[in-house]
Amino acid sequence: MSTLTKILIVLLSLLSVYLCSSVVIYVTTATNYKQAYESLQSEHTALQEKSTGFEQQLEEKRRELAQLSDKLDTEINNLKADRNKLEQELNNVRREKTDLDERVKTLAAAALKFEETVGGMRGDLANTRSELDQARAESIKLTKNLDEITASLEEKMAQLDAATAEKKRLLEEKAKLEQRIAGKAPAFEPVTSTVSGPATPAPTYDSASNVPLQGTITAIDGNLATLSIGAADGVEKGMVFHVTQNDNFICDIKITEVDAEVAAGTLQLVQQQPRIGDVASTTW
């Protein structure tokens, strides 16, 4: 092996050691940020590729020296030129290393400033979360109050509807009584009586005469209830029956299916669970 080859090998070894030490120093001193890391990694890869290229060139030179001994002088001159090039590139690498050190310092200062900013943002986030939790609690409280007010309003509306129907029925009875007193009523019509509990329901009347209809609950299946009266008694789809127990409002039944002898509907405004035998009437 010639002296020039040894010198080149030593220079390449020193270059590799210097590059490795530079990378180690940089890795140990730099802040672990993705952008800086990727930039340094790409530059390190480029340097390794250059070093690999130089080693390949050196290996090629070795093969040429073994095969072409008569061209040794020419190859030596070429190697000297390559050495000069390597020295120049080494100087370039040193300058790049200095630039990288400056960039590392700049990134470190930026990292410290960024950490301070993040700390302030975390404090603001904690305050915002606290305010959000308070707002959620207030919203839950307001929603609960709204539900209670809505339920009370629905109950009052049901009571108002029942009172209106009862007032209408009383006015009709009053008109009939006045007609009877004047001698114009054809015959006496019985007034529906309120029955509590599972007692036998009072007679029902034709819907065309606008008199109350009354029956009892014969079956309950979830949100569906069946009544003991049907189309033959004047029940029609869309009618609303009020269910009571001892003059206490229980729920409404809106008729959805009508047969000749029975009718079925869905439960509405449920205050208590209705029972089989409860009285259901178009009025209270």
Say what the pLDDT of residue 276 is. 93
> Which among 232, 218, 211, 233 has a CA at the least distance from the CA of 265?
218
| Whether the predicted pLDDT of 30 surpasses 70 | no
Q: Report yes or no: 221 and 258 within 8 Å, Cβ to Cβ.
A: no
Q: Rounded to whole angstroms, what are the CA distances from 20 to 9, 56, 214?
A: 16, 19, 99
What would the pLDDT profile of 244-260 be if each residue is shown by its tens digit?
988 889 999 999 999 99
| Whether the predicted pLDDT of 17 surpasses 80 | yes
| Whether the predicted pLDDT of 31 surpasses 70 | no
Residue identified by tokens 């900013």 is 117
Neighbours of 279 (CB within 10 A): 25
CA 47 – CA 93 distance, rounded (Å): 9
Mean pLDDT of the chain: 80
Q: What is the DSSP letter of 231?
A: G
Classify 236 in phi/psi space as left (phi over 0), alpha (psi -120 to 50) or beta: beta
How confident is residue 4, by pLDDT bands cut at 50, 70 and 90? confident
| Whether the predicted pLDDT of 282 surpasses 50 | yes
Q: Burial, 81: exposed, middle or buried (Cβ in 10 Å; 0-12, 13-18, 19+)?
A: exposed
Q: Rounded to whole angstroms, what are the CA distances from 190 to 202, 205, 232?
A: 10, 10, 19
| Per-domain boundaries in the chain | 3-128, 211-281
How confident is residue 206, by pLDDT bands cut at 50, 70 and 90? very low
> Which residues face 258 on adjacent strands?
263
| Secondary-structure class of domain 211-281 per CATH | mainly beta
Above pLDDT 70, what percent of the chain?
Answer: 85
Q: What is the largest CA-CA distance in the chain?
A: 152
Instruction: Show the tokens assigned to 97.
Output: 């290393």
CA 140 – CA 132 distance, rounded (Å): 12
Instruction: Show the tokens assigned to 172.
Output: 């009709």
Neighbours of 256 (CB within 10 A): 13
Q: Report yes or no: 252 and 260 within 8 Å, Cβ to Cβ.
A: no
| Whether the predicted pLDDT of 200 surpasses 50 | no
| Whether the predicted pLDDT of 186 surpasses 50 | no
> Which among 162, 226, 171, 220 has a CA at the least distance from the CA of 194?
162
Neighbours of 229 (CB within 10 A): 21
| Whether the predicted pLDDT of 55 surpasses 60 | yes
Which of 20-29, 45-54, 206-215 shows the highest mean pLDDT?
45-54
Tell me if residue 225 falls in helix, strand or coil: strand
- pTM above the 0.95 mark? no
Sequence length of the chain is 284
| Whether the predicted pLDDT of 77 surpasses 70 | yes
| Whether the predicted pLDDT of 233 surpasses 60 | yes
